[in-house]
Amino acid sequence: MTNAAATPVSGTATSKGTATTATRLIGAAALALTAFVVVSAFWLTPADAVQGESVRIMYVHVPTAWVAYLAFVVTAITSGFSLARRHRTLGFDRVAGASAEVGVLFMAMTLVTGSLWGRLTWGTFWQWDPRLTTTLFLFVTYVGYLAVRNIDTDPQRRARRSAVIALLAVLEIPLVHFSVVLWRSLHQEASVLNPDGDVRLDGLMLFTLFAGVVAFSLIYVWLVLHRQRLAALADARITTGLDAAIAARRAEAASTSGAGA
């Protein structure tokens, strides 16, 4: 039922999926680089003198955090464009939404890997340190943004509304960060350990970390490209899907009456 309506609507040459040559290349590069990072992170790089084996979490934690922040910056910029411009607002809106979805996913991974590392290194899953607290609020804020996007409405309305919410989030984050920093500094609790740890990075560790950042960024680009194409198909289905469905039913009626006669 749904496929019958979606296929004639897509209107592009790639009716079999959302992949193009470019995304296939990006995907292959991301896969190869990720494979290298896995091998290097587990076997080639040494354990840290202070933290031991737990330092290997860093090769996932740092790239996911980087991608999450990158994704939220992209969401903010594309939301601004979507609101300011008269044309192609929906295109920018779909990139903003796709980017926020991937950002929330990677921020969740950042929080999980960070907690696991914290348990091993600090002895607790969570520290109410300014950076962690801000990150947590950032995560909840974008979960709310996605909830607004998920409400069924016409794409234009969704685009304007979610763009405003995204820009308000940009306004909120510095305030949250500043207040949390002030909050912690006035309490003066002894921190268990410097959140950065005291990791000495040798050449291969640094290179693996860098490769991880590049690999995860490629995964991000790949996911966002696919996701926004999928969103474009879903939007097209809302706006022209009804016409297509009516046309399909008419054709069906014509063919069955023709067969009957």
Partner 1 sequence: MRRAFVVAKKDLMIEWRSRMLLVRVAPFALLVLVLFAVALDSEPLILRAAAGLVWLAMLFSSLLVVQRAFAIETDDAALDGLLIAAGEPAQVFFGKTIAAFVQLVSLAVLLVAGAIVLYGATVSASNIVLLVTTMLTASLGLASVGTLYGAAVANMNSKDSLLPLLAMPVAAPLLIGASRATEAAFGSQTIDAAAGWAWVALLAVFAVVFVSAGAAAFGTLVEAES
* Positions in the binding site for partner 1 (CB under 8 A): 83, 137, 140-141, 143-144, 147-148, 151-152, 157, 160-161, 164-165, 167-168, 171-172, 175-176, 178-180, 182-183, 186-187
Q: Name the minimum Å distance from CB 251 to partner 1.
A: 34
Surface-to-core class of residue 58, CB atoms within 10 Å of its CB (0-12 exposed, 13-18 middle, 19+ buried): buried
Backbone angles phi, psi at 52, to 5 degrees: 70, -145
Comparison of 39 and 84: residue with beta carbon closer to partner 1: 84
C-beta of 140 vs 253, nearer to partner 1 = 140
Residue 135 beta carbon to partner 1: minimum distance, rounded to whole angstroms: 12
Choose between 55 and 107: whose C-beta lies nearer to partner 1.
107
Q: Is the dihedral of CA 98, 99, 104, 109 positive or negative?
A: positive
Q: What's the chain's length in residues? A: 261
- Please report, as a single letter, which amino acid is at residue 85: R
Q: Which residue has the tokens 């969740």?
A: 108
Alpha carbon distance 196, 125 (integer Å): 15
Q: Considering the complex, what minimum distance in angstroms separates the CB of residue 73 from partner 1?
A: 18
Specify the residue, 183 or 210, whose C-beta has the smaller distance to partner 1.
Answer: 183
Q: Quick one: 32 or 143, whose CB is closer to partner 1?
A: 143
Closest alpha carbon to 220 in 29, 68, 53 = 68
Give the residue with the Cβ less far from partner 1, 81 or 137.
137
**The amino acid at 207:** F
Asked if 83 and 160 count as a contact pair (C-beta separation under 8 A), the reply is: yes
In the three-class reduction of DSSP (H, G, I as helix; E, B as strand; rest coil), residue 52 is classed as strand
100, 71 in Cβ contact below 8 A?
Answer: yes
